[in-house]
Amino acid sequence: MEIYNFMVYSWTAAILTGLACSLIGVIVVTMGISFIGVCMSHAAFAGALAGIIFHINPVLSSFIFCFIVAGILGPVSDKGELKPDTSLGIVFSSSLGLSFLLLPLIPGSKSEGLRFLWGNILTVNNNDLVIVGVVSLLVLTFVIAFFKEIQILIFNRIIAIASGIHAREIYYMILFLCGAAITASIKAVGGLLVFALIVNPAAAAYQITYDLKKMFLLSSFFGIASGCLGLVFSFSLNIPAGAPIALCSVLIFILATILSPKRRYRGR
Amino acid sequence: MNKITIENATVVRGNRVVLNNISFSVEAGEAIAIYGPNGAGKTTLLNLVNGLLFPVEGKVVVENIKVNPSTARSIQLITGYVPQNFEIDPRTPILTGTVVLSGCYGKLGLFHYPDKSIIEKAKKIMSKLEIDHLFLRPFGQISGGERQKTMIARAMMQEPEILLLDEPFSSISESSKEKIIEIIRFWKKEKNLTLLLVSHEKSIIEKLCGKVVYIDEGKIVLQEKADGNL
């Protein structure tokens, strides 16, 4: 019965993390702000370390750190005083620096902290599944409810604003949901590898279709497939699941690029 | 009655004064051209009117509403904006028809999607501009001229009271220009549109506008009728 629960938890976590990350990934990849995934994942890692040190639930502290980063990145990009890659670079290096500062401060073994860096989908529990389930549902609801606004934001943010769309609010929601999706996935996939699940499935779908709806569907499929295939390799080779999940998503991206109808179109 | 009033507006970007103490007004139904060299502040002036930018000094009033961050959205809902040609990744997953439909997204509001009648209306506007065959074509793959026509169609989908055109004909072929000018003139008359046009082409200005505002180095240097008199 215990083995059955462990299997169910792992497969459910693979599906839900794949879904949440790949859906939000479509938005950040098409908006050209993929690096936000790296920023958020490192902020989440720093948050988890702070949680361990100060005896707060690491997932909760990761959420708080990601939301702080989202709260910084939103206004900075609004004011346009810094280029997005510059502001992302500053936030990324701050998160990384903070992580390196916090890691040695963990009392005793560092393995609890490093668990959030590498992740282990085989250790997720009921609470983790509830969190990733709620976040997946939130991301899915957001994509369905604001699909037309997302479409025009992806097209051009200035035109979205000029059309009278609530562009700023929706952009902030994207940042917060990106942080939430990464935090919810960090225990399963790890702070380093969660970026792969944000970018690769969406980038693979980007190679295949010009239709945003199909892109969301394809990216979700690729994200879930990466999670499940990675888990199969993890079980069969007896290795941690994060790496095979990330590598499966890379493989899917390579296949999508080779078979891309867009590539054929450009080649003509 | 003034539709747009700009009073002593100054816009600063970094250390550079882009617009310096600009004042002018536009009456409802009037068509005004903004003319001047590159970097004179023409696009900035349009962006002041639709609330994409705000002056550091002075004020902009549109439809008796002072434009500021809290009123900008209500101004944007009645203002159709055709930007200068812009770069877009050819693989961007957005169809030309969706770009046109997006003109009404602001008025539709959250959680509402275009119904059949709105889609028909978009196709009708696109047909007038001879781009209806592009409805399902990715926007990134159409030509510069087709993109400008699409942006004009998008602005008209918005059913604006004010139309802001920023170099809208720069990539459009000579043969198409005349037809589009006629269409805009028809829309202007039919809907009593107030029009602000940024253009370098005097022939287009004469056909569409009654008055020209010359801007240089962020200042209005001359206002005259499009035929040279005031």
Together in a domain, B110 and B213? no
| Domain boundary, last residue among B125, B159, B193 | B159
Q: How many residues does chain B have?
A: 230
Rounded-to-10 torsion of CA B27, B29, B30, B31: 140
Residue A84 lies in a domain: yes
Number of domains in chain B: 2
Mark whether B124 and B25 lie in a shared domain: no
What CATH number does residue A20 fall under? Answer: 1.10.3470.10
Predicted confidence at residue A265, as pLDDT, reads: 55
> Do B165 and B180 lie in a common domain?
yes
> Quick check: B55 pLDDT over 80?
yes
Q: Could you identify the residue written with the tokens 């939301």?
A: A67
Q: Are residues B104 and B129 in the same domain?
A: yes
Judgement on whether residues B10 and B62 belong to the same structural domain of the protein: yes
Summarised one tens digit per residue, pLDDT across range B106-139 is: 988 888 889 999 999 999 999 999 999 999 999 9
> Residue A153 sits in which domain range?
5-258
Task: Output the six-digit token pair for B188.
Answer: 């202007």
Residues in chain A: 268
Contact yes or no for B107 and A164 at CB 8 A: yes
In chain A, residues 28-87 whose CB comes closer than 8 Å to chain B? 30, 32
| B94 and B66 fall within a common domain | no
User: Do residues B168 and B121 both lie within one domain?
Assistant: no
State the average pLDDT over residues A240-252.
Answer: 90
Residue ending a domain, choose from B138, B159, B180: B159
pLDDT at B230 over 70: no
- Tell me how far apart the alpha carbons of residues A57 and A76 are, in angstroms, rounded to a whole number: 29
Query: Under an 8 A CB cutoff, do A211 and B95 touch?
Result: yes
What ipTM was predicted for this assembly?
Answer: 0.89
Choose among B90, B105, B141: nearest Cβ to A165: B105
Q: Let me know whether B102 and B48 are in one domain.
A: no
Q: Which residue in the set A151, A158, A211 is minimally distant from B102, CB to CB? A: A151
Of A30, A159, A215, the CB nearest to B83: A159
Q: How confident is the model at residue A81 (pLDDT cuts 50, 70, 90)?
A: low
**CATH number, domain with residue B221:** 3.40.50.300
Residue of A146, A163, A207 to mutate for B, most B C-beta atoms under 10 A: A163
- Residue A33: inside a domain: yes
Indicate if the pLDDT at residue B164 is higher than 90: yes
Q: What is the mean pLDDT of residues A57-83?
A: 83
Q: What percentage of chain B reaches a pLDDT higher than 70?
A: 98
Q: Which residues contact A100 (CB under 8 A, 6 or more apart)?
A: none
**B165 and B64 both lie in a single domain:** yes
Domain that holds residue B15: 1-78+160-230
Residue at A267 is within a domain: no
Q: Is the domain of B95 the same as that of B65?
A: no
- For chain A, the domain total comes to 1
Looking at residue B87, its pLDDT comes to 82
CB–CB of B110 and A266 under 8 A?
no
More confident residue, A81 or A229: A229
Task: For A200-251, give the secondary structure using H, E and C.
Answer: HHHHHHHCCCCCHHHHHHHHHHHHHHHHHHHHHHHHHHCCCCHHHHHHHHHH
| pLDDT recorded at residue B197 | 95
Cβ atoms of B16 and B39 within 8 Å: the answer is no
Q: Kindly give, in sequence order, each residue whose CB lies less than 8 Å from that of residue A32, ignoring residues fewer than 6 positions away.
A: A84, B89
Rounded to the nearest 10 degrees, what angle do helices A35-53 and A84-102 cross at? 30
Question: What's the pLDDT score for residue B15?
Answer: 85
Query: What is the pTM for the complete model shown?
Result: 0.88
- Please give the radius of gyration of chain B, using alpha carbons only, rounded to the nearest integer: 17
- Asked if the structure places residue A117 within a domain, the reply is yes
Q: In this structure, is residue A265 part of a structural domain?
A: no
Same domain, B146 and B91: yes
Residue A264 covered by a domain: no
CB–CB contact A163 B139 (8 Å): no
Which tens digits make up the pLDDT trace of B199-221?
888 888 988 898 999 999 889 88
B70 band by pLDDT with thresholds 50, 70 and 90: very high
Encoded tokens for B225: 């009728």
Query: Of B143, B159, B175, which closes a domain?
Result: B159
Q: Are residues B1 and B73 in the same domain?
A: yes
Partner residue facing B106 (CB), from A154, A163, A206: A163
Per the model's pLDDT, the better-predicted residue between A86 and B146 turns out to be B146
